[in-house]
Amino acid sequence: MTPPDYYRADSRHPGWPVRLGPLTVPAGTVTLRPVRLRDAREWSRTRLADRGYLEQWEPSAAGSWEERNAVLAWPSQWAALRSLGRRGQCLPFTILLNGTFAGQLTIGNVIRASLRSAWVGYWVPSALAGGGIATAAVALAVDHSLGEAGLHRIEATVRPENTASVRVLTKAGFRREGLFERYLDVAGGWRDHLCFAITAEETGPGLVARLVASGKAEHA
């Protein structure tokens, strides 16, 4: 059998590559799998169509939104994410809803040694916001990262105005640690960001188990 195009036998990342889920939420069944080269068309279509929603939360970058999110822009991004994953510096996932492309989640800036930390970043299209997809994806990824992947702490930063993302983190079990003033260049200005974090000691039976126990999700 030919291995899937995200797999490489020389991967040195503990717990990577991996497929996580499924987990059922009100919007449907959520699964995480490593990013693939053939995600290009759906990735581009989704992001170009949802510019008004996504651009207000994402870091400023060179080039136009259309250039950065064109189909031809994906191969270089995919290659960079795959390379970082193979080197043990991130876990780059595609979010699937009922088997269909529904966004991205990345556990990034993985640092080992005595720190064993990383950050989590994610996006889902506006049409799917509020259905529990991002919360399920975060729970699946954090449980894996603090378990098999061997990390101890995961943090996330989010603009205070992004109430949907704040809800995702608080529902998943993250605690607020503070405010980073003028932290990141977003939408043409230096924006304040709230910092949230969670450590392995705080997860108890796991974030997925908490969601299931609270009735917000169930195992598919």
Pair type for strands 218-219 and 175-186: unpaired
Burial 52-69, CB ≥16 within 10 A → b, else e: ebbbebeeeeeeeeeebb
**E strand map for 124-161:** 153-158
- Give the closest residue to 91 by CA, choosing from 143, 166, 30, 135: 143
Q: Report helix, strand and coil shares of the chain as percent, to nearest 5.
A: 35, 30, 35
Pair type for strands 153-158 and 189-199: antiparallel
Q: Which fold has domain 20-219?
A: Aminopeptidase (3.40.630)
pLDDT at 220: 80
pLDDT along the chain (220 residues), means of 10: 39 82 97 98 98 94 95 98 94 98 98 95 95 97 97 97 96 96 94 98 96 94
- Give the closest residue to 82 by CA, choosing from 159, 28, 11, 21: 11
Quote the CA–CA distance of 58 and 45 in Å, as a whole number.
17
Assess contact for 139 and 23: CB atoms under 8 A. yes
**Alpha-carbon dihedral sign for residues 106, 179, 202, 152:** positive
